[in-house]
Structure 1
Amino acid sequence: MLENFGNLGNEKEKIKKLIDQFCVEVGGFPSEDDRDSLSVIFADFLTGFNMMADKAPVVTVFGSSRIAPEQADYKTGEELGAGLARLGFSVLTGGGPGLMEAVNKGASVANGRSMGINIEIPDEQRQNTYTSPSITINHFFVRKVLLVKYSTAFIFLPGGFGTLDEFFETVTLIQTGKIPPFPVILIKNSYWRGLMEWVDENLVKNDLISTGDTNYLYFCDTVQEAVDVIKSCVSSGRISLVRKK
């Protein structure tokens, strides 16, 4: 398990020693397997933090890994990546194929910063070739932290369980005040409409969430509409184009 430490190289032994020191200070040693897990998690986070340093402003785009280049949604992803890059944003995705690749390709072709945080899973997930910088990490939960932590807007294209997981985690973080109420943009109304009708009918009407919990959601059918939402948020000062130093 410890053989995959991203770009940290020989730092893995230092990480293991830090974990051991921490365990001594808190008064208990987990099993060797748990210590290995802690080391890999620490390495995942450290690799991601190092990659994301000084990359703001960032917009994260989520979407399916299964969309082929000949499909219309892939073209939408390319246009979106290019549009965000032209606005001056660093574009961040999950670094894989499908719509992630499309968005990264669009940003890269537009000479923007195109980044990816890929996940190591069997078979399906390969890292696309349009990301620089990019990393591959081990844990989904670390990946989700990194995809959200540095961004000031979130855009969701159609996707499967993984995309829906990322959507609900993002809106939960906003709902609970863990991150600011940055805009969450959903592209392709025909895809999202059924889900949002279910949310209104089953969650809002039964007071399981508040009506205001969806106020930061924007529904768009075109890339231009999504870009206009971002522009409006920049103009109002809700999100910033200033690069952090």
Structure 2
Amino acid sequence: MKEVQKINASVTPKGSLEILSQIEVEKLKKVGENGLYALFRQCALAILNTGSDSDNAKDIMEAYPDFEIEIIQQDRGMRLNLINAPANAFVDGVMIASSREMLFSAMRDIVYSEAEKRSTRIDLNSSAGITDHVFHLLRNADVLNAGEPPNMVVCWGGHSIPEEEYQYTKEVGHSMGLRGLDICTGCGPGVMKGPMKGATIAHAKQKITNSRFLGLTEPGIIAAEAPNPIVNELVILPDIEKRLEAFVRVGHGITIFPGGAGTAEEFLYLLGILLAPENKELPFPLVLTGPKCAEEYFRVLHDFINDTLGFEAQQKYKIVIDDPEQVAQIMAQGVKDVMAYRIEHHDAFYFNWMLKIHEDFQKPFEPTHENVAALNLSSNLPAHELAANLRRAFSAIVAGNVKESGIRAIEKHGPYKIDGDQSIMKPLDKLLCGFVEQQRMKLPGTQYIPCYELIK
């Protein structure tokens, strides 16, 4: 990493979480197992480090070992003293407005998630209870707007992509923005920024003044995918499963661009849900798209789905190559179909209650070496169950690639061992090798050392 510039500063919230209780402050200050300080520090550092050229959470944390946060209660609210903070989050000593908003959004979500854990209302042992928890997390963040028509398109894809692919994401975002569609992403760089940037220009052309650029992340990934400055609504969910459920509950359609293991994880998650018998008739527009240079990427991915989940899974999505207008038209029409379906079935526009998500997709998966080795990757499983386990395998690869805890686990115990039927392992190996060859596992120009080993 480049030599870092640091600054000391004092900031106060504006319009969000302006006061905290004494217990909440003590929790945020406390270091150790029962405290929230380490979590808040990690999320804050990621937000203040927007624009970093590193995708390694461990490197980012180690670049600012002396970064500290003092939480000060005062008569008229609260104040944060930032010590040795990244200087690029400030202009002439004043924090950039978007960074300031996201910093206190992080505090809001961390405080609320902790309070929810102690609530007798919350039930994380049932599918309905987990969905209710996700709903309350999103409602507390004020991102569920009743009465507004469906227009939120989720965009998934890689945080580190070639320039040609990045420009294409902007073109797609522009085409969708001209049709009045808002954008939701994982809030980081690359595919998570491009569609928002394109839609920003399109919304300006259409005189849309209430644009929504929603970013959904989670503590384990935020340091590697620091929020981009276009995000105007940020939500930090407690774990990857809550984050993924939030995407499909608030989104009215999903566009997937080229990516790596994280994109494959998201794709398998959604396919597994759509393959569940309860969701067979539910409209959910899903488009895979990229420029001409990405055609091979989608061919290999399409073949992988055929070889593992079968023909029915392939029918759940469309592949569009090098045609932003067609992608936007499919999404716009798909959103209209979603609206008609929800009106007919009296479902909310702002939260997809009718979508059935099985507990296999909701229970947090801890990517330990033991859990990864125990994954059941059998061709005898129903397609939606196999998708759930494949998703977990890719979740482990993401952890080993970019999450601080995963990187340290690999350093200590070696690569994850992934085993399964040869009919599954062979196409999985082909897909992962393709990701490595196309430099979709790490930033371009950096050598990739696999954090996994396939048992053949």
Indicate how the Cα distance of structure 1 residues 91 and 197 shifts in structure 2: closer, same or farther if over 3 A, else same: same
> What amino acid does structure 2 have at the position aligned with 1:52?
V
1:34-55 deviation digits (Å, cap 9, x = unpaired): xxxxxxxx5x763334443026
Match of 2:300 in 1: 194
Task: Percent identity, please.
Answer: 19
Match of 1:167 in 2: 267
Q: Find the aligned partners of 2:278 and 2:320 in 1 and give their Cα distance.
A: 25
After TM superposition, the score normalised by the length of structure 2 is 0.42
Q: Find the aligned partners of 1:230 and 1:12 in 2 and give their Cα distance.
A: 33
Q: Find the aligned partners of 1:158 and 1:13 in 2 and give their Cα distance.
A: 35
Counterparts of residues 132-143 of structure 1 (less than 5 Å):
132-143=232-243
Q: Find the aligned partners of 2:329 and 2:312 in 1 and give their Cα distance.
A: 22
Q: Which one scores higher on RCO, CA 8 angstroms, separation ≥ 6? A: 1
Match of 1:34 in 2: none
Deviation at 1:16, TM superposition (A): 4.8
Match of 1:2 in 2: 36
> What amino acid does structure 2 have at the position aligned with 1:66?
S
Structure 1 residue ranges without an equivalent (≥5):
27-41
Match of 2:136 in 1: 46
Structure 2 residue ranges without an equivalent (≥5):
1-34, 41-105, 126-132, 204-210, 351-456
Match of 2:276 in 1: 176
Q: Find the aligned partners of 1:160 and 1:105 in 2 and give their Cα distance.
A: 21
Contact 1:185–1:217 (Cα < 8 Å) also in 2: yes
Contact 1:6–1:137 (Cα < 8 Å) also in 2: no
Contact 1:96–1:126 (Cα < 8 Å) also in 2: yes
Deviation at 1:107, TM superposition (A): 1.9
1:73-94 deviation digits (Å, cap 9, x = unpaired): 1111111222222212221101
Given the alignment of the two structures, is residue 94 of structure 1 paired with residue 94 of structure 2, yes or no?
no
Given the alignment of the two structures, is residue 65 of structure 1 paired with residue 99 of structure 2, yes or no?
no
The number of residue pairs the alignment matches comes to 217
Contact 1:181–1:216 (Cα < 8 Å) also in 2: no
Given the alignment of the two structures, is residue 15 of structure 1 paired with residue 109 of structure 2, yes or no?
no
Match of 2:386 in 1: none
Match of 2:30 in 1: none
Contact 2:254–2:287 (Cα < 8 Å) also in 1: yes
Q: Find the aligned partners of 2:113 and 2:303 in 1 and give their Cα distance.
A: 48
Cα RMSD of the aligned pairs, angstroms, is 3.1
Q: Find the aligned partners of 2:316 and 2:110 in 1 and give their Cα distance.
A: 41
> What amino acid does structure 1 have at the position aligned with 2:36?
L
Indicate how the Cα distance of structure 1 residues 75 and 178 shifts in structure 2: closer, same or farther if over 3 A, else same: farther
Corresponding residue SS for 1:159 = coil
> What amino acid does structure 1 have at the position aligned with 2:338?
I
Deviation at 1:148, TM superposition (A): 0.9
Indicate how the Cα distance of structure 1 residues 9 and 183 shifts in structure 2: closer, same or farther if over 3 A, else same: closer
Given the alignment of the two structures, is residue 227 of structure 1 paired with residue 341 of structure 2, yes or no?
no
Corresponding residue SS for 1:53 = coil
Q: Find the aligned partners of 1:9 and 1:185 in 2 and give their Cα distance.
A: 33
Corresponding residue SS for 1:47 = helix
Q: Find the aligned partners of 1:118 and 1:62 in 2 and give their Cα distance.
A: 12
